Structure 1
C-alpha cells in the first residue's frame, strides 16, 4: 500500500513531538513493505532528518505544490515572484510576523519565533520560545526592508494572525493566482494566515504521485487532521481522520481514529493491518 501521512497533528503532535507509538507503527509498516510518503503543508526544508530516517519513500510538500518520490522531483510549482513581493509588502505594512516557505529554506522575520510562541496556552515564556525555536531550527532570519524582489522559489507564505487583520478584503484584492487560507499551530483555532496558490492542494498532488507510481486509488491510504486534508482523504481509497479533526474532515473519512496524543496513528495502522 501507499500510505500518505500529514505531519503536524497526525504523525507528530501539536508540540511537534513524534509519539513513540507512531514511530514504531511507521517503522513496522515500512518493514512490512508498505511505501510511506509525507503529505504536508511543510516545505522540504522543514522535513528534518528524524522524519526521513523513518524510512520514507518521498513526500508531498507545500500542501501539494511539491512532489518527490525516491529522490526524484515529480512536480514543483512555486508562487509567481510578483505575488511573493506583493504579499511581503502587505505583511510589512501591517507589522505582521511571517515566514516564506521554500524548499531551499525558511525565511522569516526576526519576531516570528516570539510571536509564534505567544500562541501557546502558556504564552511567550522562555520555555515556549525555546521550544518554538527548536521546531524551526534552520529558520533564516531575514530583513525584508526595501521593495525586493524577494524569493522566486516560494511554495507559500505563512503569517501570525492578529485581531485587527481582516482576511476578507485581502482575499478580494490578491492576484487570481493567490489563495488565502488559515491554519492552526495548536490544533484549537486558526492562528496563522497563509498566502498559497490557487489550484494547488494535496489531492491533486496525490493523483500526480499515483500516476507516477502506476497505482490506483484503492492502493492509497491517507491520514490527516485538518481542513486542508479533505482533498487528501478524498483522493485515497481509504481516508483516516485523526480523532481531534474537524467534522468537515471526519465526514469524508473511511475511518476516524483516536487523537494524535492518544496513539491515534498507531491504532489506525493496526486496524488497517499495516503492521
Structure 2
C-alpha cells in the first residue's frame, strides 16, 4: 500500500504509545506534532475511559479520541479541516458516537457478576464522565472512584471483571443476552472486558470514517493486544508493536519496534514524514 494515502494515525495507548511506566517520550510527542503539522490527523484508540486517558496525554493534542473500548468517539478537529456542514454534527463535547449499557443492563450485569464470581468479585465500570471500582487497591491508575456498586445507577460503556474464567464471563453476559455483548480478555492482566456489541474499536472507526467522509484504507493503526485485532484488520495499514501478543502480530501488515523503543514514532518518521 502507498503510505502517501495515509491521512489519519490511530494509536492504542498501553503497550503501544505508552512506555511501560505509562509515560510518552519527548521524541514521540515531537514526531506526532510534526505529523499533525503536515496535515495528518492523530488519534487515540484505547480501552481506557476518556476521563482517564486524557490525564496521560500531556504534550499531545489528539484530533480524535476513541475511548472506552470504542464506546465513545470524540473529534476535536481544527475548523479548517472540517467539511462544510459538519458543525451541526458536533455536540458541545465533540462527541460523534456513544454506545453504552442502559442503567438496567449494567445493574443486571453487576448483580450477576457477584452471583457468578462471588461476593468478593472485583470489577470496574466506566462511562463518559467517571471510572468506578469496588477495590481500593492500586490498579495502575489514580483516577478511580471507589464504590461497592450496591446503588450504582448510571449508564456504562464498559465493565471489567477480574477473572480469566471464560465460562463465568459468558454466564454474566447471558444475563442480558450474550448476543448483545462483546467480551475479550486482556493479555497483561487477569481481567475480562465486557461492552455492548457496538462498542468496539472497529465499529468506532467505521463511524469515524463515515463522519469524516474517508475510507479505512486512509488510516494507519497501531496496537498490541486482543482489542486491537479488529482495528488493525480494518485499517489500511495495521501495525503491531514488537511487544504485541502473537495473535496481533499474525494479522498485522507490519511489525514495528516496541513501545519502549518508540516504535510508533519511528514508523511515522520513516514512512510518513
What is the TM-score with the length of structure 2 in the denominator?
A: 0.81
177, 181, 185: which is aligned to 1:182?
A: 185
Aligned to 1:17: 23
Cα distance per residue 1:156-189 (max 9 Å; x no partner): 111323xxx63314304332223332114xx4xx
* Counterpart contact for 2:135–2:146, Cα < 8 Å: yes
- Superposed, 1:1-275 pairs within 5 Å as 1-51=7-57, 53-70=59-76, 71-93=93-115, 94=118, 95-113=120-138, 116=139, 132=140, 135-136=141-142, 138-145=143-150, 148=151, 150-161=152-163, 166-172=165-171, 173-176=174-177, 177-184=180-187, 187=188, 190-273=189-272, 275=273
**How far did residue 151 of structure 1 move?**
3.8
SS at match of 1:262: coil
Aligned residues: 244
* Secondary structure in structure 2 of the residue aligned to 1:84: helix
Assess, with a 3 A threshold, how the Cα gap between structure 1 residues 253 and 110 changes in structure 2: closer, same or farther: closer
Residue 174 to residue 198, structure 1, CA distance change in 2 (3 Å): farther
1:30 touches 1:55 (CA, 8 Å); kept in 2?
no
Runs of 4+ deviating beyond 6 Å: none
Structure 1 alignment gaps of length 5 or more: 117-131
* Structure 2: gaps spanning 5 or more residues: 1-6, 77-92
User: Deviation string for 1:223-257 (max 9, x for gaps)?
Assistant: 11111111111221111110111222122222210
Q: In 1, distance between residues paired with 2:155 and 2:261? A: 37
TM-score w.r.t. the length of structure 1 is 0.81
